[in-house]
Structure 1
Amino acid sequence: MRIVLLSLAASLVAATPALANEVRVETRAGVYWTDGATKGTAGVAAGYDFDLGPAAFSGLEVSGDKILTSGTKVAWGFTGRLGAKLAGSKLYGTGGYTTEPCSQCEGSWHLGAGYERGFMGNLYGKVEYRHYFGRNGFNDANAVVAGVGVKF
């Protein structure tokens, strides 16, 4: 039984690089702006990308980002991604919902786009833009972040 389990484990490890479906975790930082005010932002994200064939993918992501100023809190984002797989990189569009970034704010829907580039091994870097749609008297906002992550 032990030999069967070891053989199965070895075949799964050997097959893992061939899988296009991947889990990823990242850290990121950038700028957030609205109404002429620009603030720094930092956060983390975890996601899963699904293979849609040799040239396309879709994915889901959960993120926590904080505007780096007093009176703000971590805004939780729930985002979908859809894009093209290029040679060692991904170009994609995003859309989803982000919870309120401060006590007097409201959550908002967001749309954006990004570019992700693989580095050595499972490391990657990315740049992403998001536009947050204001509602109930709140103005629209924007963010650009750069991130570094690991794929599993």
Structure 2
Amino acid sequence: MASSAQSGAGPTEEYRYPGNRLGLPEAGPGSVAGWARRFGALLADWLLAGLIASAVVGKPIWAGGNDFNTAQLVIFFAMSAILTGLAGATIGHRLLGLRVIRTKGGGTGYAAQVGLLGGAIRTLLICLVLPAVIFDKERRGLHDLAAGTIVVRR
């Protein structure tokens, strides 16, 4: 069977690189973020939430415990949902040159504002872990698909 490139089908439906079908560039600003940067941003945000939780519960970060773990999760959720929804990036995203944008429906293109609801949906699913590790060719996890977002380079 002939490939879509040989049969003359439009290149917008053909998969060439992550973000291609959404109209995003292959490299540089606006391109889909790689896994290393995304994981680094998540780690930075989780550690920052741990430092804040440590101050809130009055225990060092290495002491752990149920009260610390709960505080860290709640702070991570609030920090990530609000910053992603209103600013388009968490502190970890900013440090690693990333931003979260909202895709427009199922077609190509994107809009910058994620919104608080989109930020909350996305962060809730990240906190559940599993949706964040199941992803598609565009490097969009279930959390991004549910919120209608994608992580791109700044």
TM-score, normalising length: structure 2: 0.25
More helix by proportion, 1 or 2? 2
TM-score scaled by structure 1? Answer: 0.25
The higher-RCO structure (CA 8 Å, 6+ apart) is: 2
